[in-house]
Chain A
Amino acid sequence: MSILSEVRLIMGKDLRIERRSKIALNQVAPFAILIVVLFGFALNADRAALTTFTPGLYWVTVLLASILAVHRSVAIEAGEGAREGLLLSGLRPASIFLGKATALISQIFLVSIVLLGAVVIFYDARVDDAVLLVTSLVSAVVGVGAAGTLYGALLGAQRARETVLPILLLPVLAPVLIAATRAFGDAMGTVATDGWAWTALLASFAAIYVAMGVVSHGVLMEEN
Chain B
Amino acid sequence: MVSVDQTARADSMGTSSKTTRILGGVLLAGIALWLFLAFVVTEPDIRIDGTSGQEIGQFDAFRLIYVHVPVVFVAYTAFVVTAIGSIMVLVKRSVWWDLVAGASAEIGALASALTLITGSIWGRPIWGTYWLWGDVRILTTLVLFMLSLGYLAVRRLEGTAEERARRSAIVGILLVVNILIVNRSVEWWASQTIHQDSTIAEAAIGGSKAFTLFYSIVLAMGLFTWMMIHRFRLAWLERQFDRFGLDDALTSRRAEAASVLEGEMS
Contact = CB atoms under 8 A, between A and B. Distances in A.
Interface of A: 150, 154-155, 158-160, 164, 167-168, 170-172, 174-175, 178-179, 182, 193, 197, 201, 204-205, 208, 212, 216, 219-220, 223-224
Interface string B143-168: 10011011001100111001100110
A164 B181 CA distance: 22
A201 B157 contact: no
**3 tightest Cβ-Cβ pairs between the two chains A and B:** A168-B150, A175-B185, A171-B146
B185 A179 contact: yes
A167 B167 contact: no
B19 interface: no
Contact of B189 (A170, A182, A212, A219): A182
Nearest to A204: B181
A154 B155 CA distance: 11
A212 B178 CA distance: 11
A219 B158 CA distance: 17
A187 to B, nearest CB: 16
A167 B146 contact: yes
Contacts of A164: 150, 153-154, 157
B37 to A, nearest CB: 37
B166 A160 contact: no
Interface SS of chain A: helix
12 contacts: A150-B174, A154-B170, A155-B157, A159-B158, A164-B154, A167-B149, A172-B147, A175-B182, A178-B185, A205-B181, A208-B181, A220-B167
Given A172-B174, A174-B143, A212-B174, A223 B185 contact: no
Range for the number of chain B residues in contact with chain A:
20 to 34
Given A164-B150, A171-B146, A158 B158 contact: yes
B192 interface: yes
B181 to A, nearest CB: 5
B167 A154 contact: yes
